[in-house]
Amino acid sequence: MGRLEIKSWDEVPEFENEAQEAGFWATHYLSEALAEEAQVVDPITFELLEPRKKSATRRTA
């Protein structure tokens, strides 16, 4: 049996935890139209850090 297409946000239940949500999305997928209307609410940005001047390795005798 294939995954079920979700055509409305009303078809997506409230989840009690991440495991429950993962189980739901393992058997369902968003329709193309619904996926196109989805928006990123908190985009992730990455900042490049300067390389360390000294090693961070701690040596013990």
Rounded CA-CA distance 13/43 in Å is 24
Q: What is residue 38's predicted lDDT score, i.e. its pLDDT? A: 82
Q: What's the token pair of residue 48?
A: 């490049």
Q: What is the pTM of this model?
A: 0.59
Which pLDDT score is estimated for 12?
Answer: 96
Q: What are the tens digits of pLDDT across the range 45-56?
A: 888 888 888 777
pLDDT band of residue 61 (cuts 50, 70, 90) is: low
SS3 24: helix
Residue 12 CB partners (closer than 8 Å, separation 6+): 6, 24
- Convert the pLDDT of each residue in 2-47 to its tens digit: 999 999 999 999 999 999 999 999 999 999 999 988 877 787 888 8
For the chain, give every domain's residue range.
4-37
30 alpha-carbon distance from chain centroid: 14
